[in-house]
Structure 1
Amino acid sequence: MSTYEELISLLRDCKRVLRAARKPTWDEYIESAKIAGLGILIVGGVGFLIRVIVQLIELYT
């Protein structure tokens, strides 16, 4: 398959996806924001714990 044909195929697929897409409802938006916020908190918490552990190791070595 040539590069041109791959590009045409990609554009066709993108067009199909955009036709099926819709704007989320307010409830869906809020739920997505909550999930993203929870993920941010979890990653931050893990980073904080790693930092505390490293500092404790440095303190006692």
Structure 2
Amino acid sequence: MGYKKSILEFIEKSRRVLKVSKKPDREEYFTVAKVTGIGIIIIGVIGLIITLLTQILGK
């Protein structure tokens, strides 16, 4: 019966989070999308540089 209590506690905590959260407006959404895109590009460039360096130095 302990699992029912933990499930109910999880549901109550989830409700609390949903009450205080808000839907992002258009500007906030695009800002987050830009930052995420820039991060993905930076990580890709770092991976490309590491791959090129290992190929050059490996020979």
TM-score clears 0.5: yes
Alignment length (residue pairs):
58
Partner residue of 1:31? Answer: 31
1:26 and 1:40 mapped to 2: Cα distance? 21
Query: Is residue 18 from structure 1 mapped to residue 15 from structure 2 by the alignment?
Result: no
Measured against aligned partners, the alpha-carbon deviations of 1:5-60 in whole angstroms (never above 9, x if no partner) come to 1111000010111122221011100110111011101110111011101110123x
Aligned to 1:3: 3
- Tell whether 2:48 aligns with 1:48: yes
Q: Which runs of 5+ in 1 are unaligned?
A: none
Runs ≥4 residues deviating over 2 A: none
Give the TM-score, by structure 1 length: 0.84
Distance 1:4 1:38 in 2: 44
Q: Give the share of equivalent positions with the same residue, in percent.
A: 29
CA root-mean-square deviation: 1.0
Distance 2:6 2:39 in 1: 36
TM-score when scaled to structure 2?
0.86
